[in-house]
């Protein structure tokens, strides 16, 4: 197969729920990210072979193939095709997988993969209000249908996590994200959002630009988090504080073949070494990242000890904690700049957001290998291994 390179990766800052980006449609965020991407890569949009986006709640403003509406809104040539996919929380990571497959197969040279979700404007699950229950009797007769929150509680049950350790993990996510922001670690991967230029014409809310992630709570602590009510069980452990944040944002990466790298004189940020997707028990639902990570590492010919940095989506604190317990990877190598608990989880954008953050952190630290994994609703999980081709001789453990 042909090698696949990431030659640019960019994301918007993440807006909190009903916050700075509430007046901006998802496809407008996507359009803004697309133009920033090609500007940073130094290649014209007319050379792009395909645009693939992830988006979960494909209804209303997000219903008309937002990959296509994003590129048209960006002023890109109408001859560029586009596709929007839904693999739940792993949607934009799946978009990366699809784009990588096209390049590996030799049918494309430059593919944009990413995603966008405006959860303030198109609420999660709003399609069910119109179209009814997601599961029919053929599924519900075979499996207990449950929420992701209850699944997170079951993960905590199975792996023995109490409320305090979950809240500690959440507080540490915010601490790391705040430290990364203060150190300027997100500057290279983000593009400010000019809200006044992108918002709806009749938007009456604030129009100030968003230049940094709005979701980080600098003053949080286990003590403060312990005051929050549980969300899914009366005597449970999962709260709004130790779960990912509903939020708004977009993220995109530019994938390139070796021929495109040479033709356009591009600089690879990373090479995709492997991709993986797995299915798992849909009632426990969130355990898949363990198997997906193992599969992706094996396909790359790597052991976990060979991999310096890991990103496991913080859908709920119990998920990355479960993953660490199962894999033996220590916390110093996982979500080193915080995760979705602090940075937000705009569903369709999260996979590409994580990829963008991971690749830039590999470059910043000179580490060679990084792995990302995401749990997805319905008992799915995605994973990807990236190789920094400009790695120093730094050891694997950071």
Q: Is 55 a catalytic residue?
A: no
Pairwise CA distance, residues 363 & 359, whole Å:
6
Structure tokens at 355: 């990829």
Cβ–Cβ < 8 Å for 286, 90 = no
User: Using an 8 Å Cβ cutoff, are 264 and 45 in contact?
Assistant: no
From the CA atom positions of the chain, what is the Rg in Å? Answer: 20
**DSSP code string of 158-225:** HHT--HHHHHHHHHHHHHHHHHHHHTTTTGGGB--B-HHHHS-TT--S----B-S-S---TT--HHHH
**Known catalytic residue at 375:** yes
* Dihedral, CA of residue 389, residue 390, residue 392 and residue 397, to nearest 10: -50
Query: What are the angstrom distances between the C-alpha of 156 and each of 117, 340, 361?
Result: 28, 18, 29
Catalytic residue (choose from 89, 199, 360, 376): 89
Among residues 55, 199, 375, 376, the one annotated as catalytic is 375
Closest C-alpha to 2, from 218, 330, 262, 181: 262
Catalytic residue among 28, 174, 345, 360: 345
Q: Which of 340, 371, 393, 387 is CA-nearest to residue 169?
A: 340
Q: What is the distance between the alpha carbons of residues 334 and 381, in angstroms, rounded to a whole number?
A: 17
The candidate with the shortest Cα–Cα distance to 237, out of 306, 168, 299, is 168
- Give just the sign of the alpha carbon dihedral 182, 185, 188, 190: negative
The verdict on whether 199 is a catalytic residue reads: no
Active site residue ranges: 89, 345, 375
């Amino acid at each position: 197969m042909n090698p696949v390179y990431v030659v640019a990766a960019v994301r918007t800052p993440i807006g909190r729920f009903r916050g700075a980006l509430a007046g901006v449609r998802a496809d407008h965020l996507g359009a803004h990210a697309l133009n920033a991407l090609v500007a940073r890569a130094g290649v014209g949009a007319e050379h792009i072979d395909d645009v693939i986006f992830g988006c979960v709640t494909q209804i209303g403003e997000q219903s008309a193939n937002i990959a296509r509406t994003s590129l048209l809104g960006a002023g890109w040539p109408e001859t560029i095709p586009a596709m929007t996919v839904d693999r739940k929380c792993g949607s934009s990571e799946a978009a990366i997988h699809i784009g990588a497959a096209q390049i590996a197969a030799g049918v494309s040279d430059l593919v944009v993969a990413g995603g966008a979700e405006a959860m303030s404007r198109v609420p999660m699950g709003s399609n069910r209000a119109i179209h009814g229950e997601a599961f029919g009797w053929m599924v519900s007769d075979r499996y207990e249908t449950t929420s992701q929150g209850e699944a997170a509680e079951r993960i905590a049950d199975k792996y023995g996590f109490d409320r305090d350790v979950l809240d500690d993990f959440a507080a540490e996510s915010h601490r790391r994200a705040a430290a990364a922001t203060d150190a300027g670690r997100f500057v290279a991967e983000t593009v400010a959002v000019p809200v006044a230029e992108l918002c709806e014409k009749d938007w009456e809310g604030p129009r100030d630009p968003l230049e940094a992630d709005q979701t980080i709570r600098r003053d949080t602590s286990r003590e403060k988090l312990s005051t929050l009510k549980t969300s899914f069980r009366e005597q449970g452990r999962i709260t709004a504080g130790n779960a990912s944040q509903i939020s708004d944002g977009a993220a995109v990466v530019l994938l390139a073949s070796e021929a495109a790298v040479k033709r356009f004189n591009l600089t690879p940020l990373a090479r995709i070494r492997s991709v993986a997707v797995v299915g798992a028990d849909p009632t426990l639902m969130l355990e898949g990242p363990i198997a997906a990570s193992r599969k992706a590492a094996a396909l790359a010919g790597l052991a976990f000890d060979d991999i310096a940095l890991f990103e496991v989506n913080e859908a709920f604190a119990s998920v990355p904690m479960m993953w660490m317990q199962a894999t033996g990877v220590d916390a110093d190598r996982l979500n080193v700049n915080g995760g979705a608990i602090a940075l937000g989880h705009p569903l369709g954008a999260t996979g590409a957001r994580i990829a963008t953050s991971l690749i830039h952190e590999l470059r910043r630290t000179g580490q060679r290998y990084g792995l990302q994994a995401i749990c997805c609703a319905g008992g799915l999980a995605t994973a990807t291994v990236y190789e920094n081709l400009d790695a120093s001789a730094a050891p694997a453990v950071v």
